[in-house]
Amino acid sequence: MVLHRFIVRTGRTRVYFGPESMSELNEWVKNFDRMFIITGKKSANITGALDDVLSILSSHSIKYELFDKVFPNPTASLVNEASKHAWRFGADAVIAIGGGSVIDTAKLVSIIVKCGGRAEDYVRGARKAFDSIPLAAINLTHGTGSEVDRYAVVTIEETHEKVGVASEYMYPSISIDEPKYLTTLPRNQTVYTALDAFYHAIESATSKASSPYTLMLSEEAVRLIVKWLPIALNEPKNIEARYWLLYASMIAGISIDHGRTHIVHAVEHALSGLKPSLAHGAGLAIIGPQAIKYIYESVPDKMYRLLRYIDPGLEPKSEHADKAAKAITKFQQSIGFSDKLRDYGFGENDFNEVSKLVFTAMKYILRLAPFNVNEVVVKDIFMKSL
């Protein structure tokens, strides 16, 4: 199959998707003199994306500074450090090269350089963005959808609050979704990021903010993930598999930009806020099947449309909720994922702290769940995920 290159316009972002889409960065960078590049510690180098970006900047004699310290589940202090460097450098634009953590960091940096303040100010609502310097997002995973949405997630270390920030000014100006950069994703990251997109689709299609549009996008995302993830795991260099997983991630990202998330992300953010070593996608997949039961009971028609690609024997009936949860568990096990919270050091005694974070820091998205989320529900999900 010929894998086409195309453009998607969503929010304030222009997404260049497909083979050789990095070439589109050439025209964009001509508008700037001083570029601040944000990456993680390895992936930008391993994929070759950083070399490609530096080659483009060099061809236009654009000055740049590289900040390569971003780690998973980025903290407010990391964002503040990067922002200070970008401001002192006099950056007039930012390029993010990485996955969700890198792009989220860059979004906040682009705002802070323009509007001042600290990451905590925006997380806590004490300050609102009124503008940002332009941002290009070079996406290196098929999971977060951060290259197409207006959200960024950051952890405040002192309180372990992992909180999302939303702003129209955090849409990247342009985003590059180039499938060749994904062929070097390690197996575990291939699983984690694809399951991240899977749960984006599930939650955005079933939240109180959902619509026929988000349901349509989410259904296609789930179908593609179920079909192509096993192939990508068996054939890591298969460009077609990476192309369609990347596409699924992108449309799931557009879906959460409209429909948001709810119970699964609320609990996971509390968990990885407490233990940052827990990869976001892994956390979602651990608690996901237990939460799915409650979601399916509440909106069986929508969940049936999504999960029939995993288990064609499901029916749009609330009494199929347990069967749906088992089907997702079986699917995740089939791709080699069977982690439990205990594997990351959680135990029964951690519930109170998790519950506190869920019902304080995460209450803003809990309200979007299609059912009443109380402590009994969260405890059931947590305990069964240990």
74 within domain boundaries: yes
Smallest CA-to-CA distance from 149 within 200, 76, 225 is with 200
Last residue of a domain, one of 164, 181, 198: 181
pLDDT for the residue numbered 163: 85
| Rounded alpha-carbon distances, angstroms, from residue 127 to 73, 121, 168, 224 | 22, 5, 14, 39
| CATH number, domain containing residue 75 | 3.40.50.1970
Q: Are residues 242 and 344 part of one domain?
A: yes
1 within domain boundaries: no
Smallest CA-to-CA distance from 193 within 355, 10, 43 is with 43
Q: Are residues 231 and 123 part of one domain?
A: no
| Rounded alpha-carbon distances, angstroms, from residue 20 to 16, 137, 203, 297 | 9, 15, 32, 44
| CATH number, domain containing residue 287 | 1.20.1090.10
Q: Are residues 248 and 191 part of one domain?
A: yes
Q: Are residues 215 and 129 part of one domain?
A: no
- What is residue 281's three-state secondary structure? helix
d(CA 184, CA 195): 18
Q: Are residues 197 and 127 part of one domain?
A: no
Q: Are residues 163 and 230 part of one domain?
A: no
Q: In this structure, which amino acid lies at residue 180?
A: K
pLDDT for the residue numbered 2: 82
Domain extent for 258: 185-385
Q: Are residues 174 and 198 part of one domain?
A: no
pLDDT for the residue numbered 17: 98
Q: Are residues 161 and 304 part of one domain?
A: no
Each of the 386 residues of the chain gets a pLDDT tens digit; together they read 789 999 999 999 999 999 999 999 999 999 999 999 999 999 999 999 999 999 999 999 999 999 999 999 999 999 999 999 999 999 999 999 999 999 999 999 999 999 999 999 998 889 999 999 999 999 999 999 999 999 999 999 888 888 889 999 999 999 999 999 999 999 999 999 999 999 999 999 999 999 999 999 999 999 999 999 999 999 999 999 999 999 999 999 999 999 999 999 999 999 999 999 999 999 999 999 999 999 999 999 999 999 999 999 999 999 999 999 999 999 999 999 999 999 999 999 999 999 999 999 888 899 999 999 999 999 999 999 99
14 within domain boundaries: yes
Specify the pTM. Answer: 0.97
79: CB partners within 8 A, 6+ apart: 105, 108, 109, 112, 119, 154
277: CB partners within 8 A, 6+ apart: 344
The number of residues making up the chain comes to: 386
d(CA 372, CA 197): 24
Q: Are residues 24 and 169 part of one domain?
A: yes
